[in-house]
Chain A
Amino acid sequence: MLSIKNIHANVEGKEILKGINLEIKAGEVHAIMGPNGSGKSTLASVLAGREQYEVTAGEVSFLDKDLLELSPEDRAREGLFLAFQYPVEIPGVSTTNFIKAAVNEKRKYHGLEPLDSVSFLKIMKEKMKLVEIDQSLLSRSINEGFSGGEKKRNEIFQMAMLEPKLAILDETDSGLDIDALRIVANGINKLHSPERAVLVITHYQRLLDYIQPDYVHVLYNGRIVKSGTKELALELEEKGYDFITEGVDLNA
């Protein structure tokens, strides 16, 4: 589904990603872990198409399309979803109208009629239950005045509404209490199916108690330095990142 080959990327002239290779197949759950500053969020941003990030080498194919050639909106419509680490507050734009516009833009892209209000509200009600999000939040401006947990739940709610093929969760667990973490994880697990894949980016192992990854990768200094199964996450939690980063040649 997603094939990343030797991606290099710069931010403001500084190379952050130094040759990433990653294959994700439909139905798989991958976790990328790594210490702060290793390039985790840069990878997420590059995949979603944030313009400040300059890809200097490598290629990414997503559902057999050249992902890097697509605009951020087309990536989303093709089925890529990024749950933001820091969801943006947008005063004056109602959350419900925004999500309706997003859903209908995606439908239009795939040659489907826009949802009428009744069908949209019906789907919205279902998904609201899934992530235990309150109607009152959705009638407010996007993320305006939301707590950290509410913002993350809103991300998962949007993901549920858009039903992406590949969901990238960028530190969705950070700043969540244990209840919110459970709700968010539950939303992700409900979405997960043989046709869909999930890429979880996290600093800590605790989200992985709720979401069982098929593969765990350790990102360090812009490269994936170790890959394994979920046991690798437990080992990292126990020993810290040092056991991996020791001996990695930064200049290699």
Chain B
Amino acid sequence: MIDLTYLNDRFEHLQQASADDGIAVIRKNSFDSFNKTGLPTYRTEDWKYTSISNLFDESFAQAGHTITLADLDALRMPGHHKANELVFVNGRFDATLSNILSTDDELTVLSLKDAAKGEYKDLVARYLNKSSEYMKDGVHALNGAFIEEGVFVYIHKGKTPQHPLYIYHILDGRDHPVMAQPRGLIYVAENSRLQLTETYATLGVSDSFCNGVLEVVVDQNAYVEYYKIQNDKSNASQVSTTHITQIGRSYVHTVTVTLNGGVVRNNMNLVLDAAGNETHLYGLYLLKGKTHADNHTMIDNKQPNCFSNQLYKGIADDFSTAVFNGKIMVQPDAQKTNSFQSNKNILLSDNATINTKPQLEIFADDVKCSHGCTVGQLDEEALFYLRARGIPKDKAEVLLLQAYAADVLAHIKPMAIRAYVEKLIYEHLSIV
């Protein structure tokens, strides 16, 4: 169980130490909210299939760490030589390990505290923790209550940084269990572009729990690609909230890939707050062992003529559990909304579980929304066909699963990242 006295002490300590960092009010409100709602249980509809309360036993990460560049090198993703790399260690943004190649007139990176006080303070004040309007649960509030060493990224107006942005979350579980709460705010200004890939790695054998929140604000004519790659240890759990607000007519494309992990809960929120927004959400989860992966998507259509498309596909093998919940809201002003959603699953084991649920709340009368979900098995005929040519059963299954994954992977646009994910998938599926 969560130790409330400990939390309270940590919170008071943080508030005293950082009383004037410009984020104290958000922390205060968040902590109040946490105290009021507590952690979600299965009685909370949005958390019906995913229990996280036992994950909070982990110790809160303290300041300071012993991660070296060599540790980081082992985790880097292909293409990193040409990427802007942001590194979080135990939930804290670490400027020393991070490496920015882009010039400051294209892309600015600041600590959230610095951003909250300087040139960008109005943006931070306006957009930081807007996610709490949608995320009312205690997990999200707990991240807000402990915003400390977060990051702020600003992509300047009209700029297309040549270097993609990679974010690494390193959790140091070499000596003891660790809980981390990274926080980020990214502003993608008018006519600019951002390509972002985020990934997670726990070092050592202790349990880890990462409760991260990333908010992205997308302005007029901006273009965002976002890739989330989750392939951590079997005792590494996380709640990962990505809250994207499209404040101007813009384009957002996301792909979430979940392979190995403990309990993984993803909240992918899209607020379409300008007419004519376009959004594509893709997800792929290939689960085995006891991994529990829960993808909650939320698209709030607030303005007319927005288009969104979602395709989430996955398999559940062994004792794993997959959850998909796709919420689409269409507000009264959001006429001519086009919103499509599809969730496809393959159940590979009698002991695995799949829960899938569309959730449509439509308050406008001239909209096109569709949703569909399937749960099936691997095609036995295809399997026999491959075996009848001499390909052994396990390899044939890997071939078919790779093929199944291919139409989601095709949406990972950067070739280096796609090849990297394909390799991770091959290794993940080949280990019996």
Contacts and interface: CB of A to CB of B under 8 A. Distances in A.
A105 B388 contact: no
Nearest to A88: B385
A120 to B, nearest CB: 15
Interface string A142-173: 10000000000000001000100000000000
Contact of B385 (A77, A87, A92, A162): A87
8 contacts: A50-B384, A51-B384, A76-B390, A88-B382, A90-B382, A92-B404, A102-B386, A158-B389
B403 A93 contact: yes
B19 interface: no
A77 B390 contact: yes
Interface string A68-105: 00011101110000101001101111000011011001
A101 B395 contact: yes
Given A72-B387, A90-B385, A102-B389, 7 more contacts: A76-B388, A76-B389, A88-B384, A90-B379, A98-B391, A98-B399, A102-B390
Contacts of B389: 76, 98-99, 102, 158, 162
Nearest to B407: A92
A84 B407 CA distance: 27
Contact of A73 (B381, B392, B402, B406): B392
B382 to A, nearest CB: 5
Contact of B390 (A84, A91, A92, A106): A106
B176 interface: no
B413 interface: no
Contact of B387 (A71, A92, A109): A71
A105 B387 CA distance: 10
Contacts of B395: 101, 105
A91 B403 contact: yes
Given A84-B385, A90-B382, A101-B395, A162 B400 contact: no
Interface of B: 379-382, 384-393, 395-396, 399-400, 402-404, 406-407
Contacts of B380: 51
Given A87-B385, A88-B385, A73 B393 contact: yes
A88 B390 contact: no
Contacts of B399: 93, 98, 101
Contacts of B404: 92
Contacts of B387: 49, 71-73, 76
A98 B388 CA distance: 12
A106 B390 CA distance: 6
A142 B391 CA distance: 14
A158 B391 CA distance: 13
Given A90-B382, A101-B395, A49 B388 contact: yes
Interface string A116-159: 00000000000000000000000001100000000000000010
Contacts of A158: 389
A46 interface: no
A48 interface: yes
A92 B406 contact: yes
A90 B381 CA distance: 10
A90 B379 CA distance: 9
B67 to A, nearest CB: 39
B391 A105 contact: yes
Contact of B400 (A51, A72, A75, A93): A93
Nearest to B381: A88
Nearest to B410: A92
Contacts of A88: 379, 381-382, 384-385
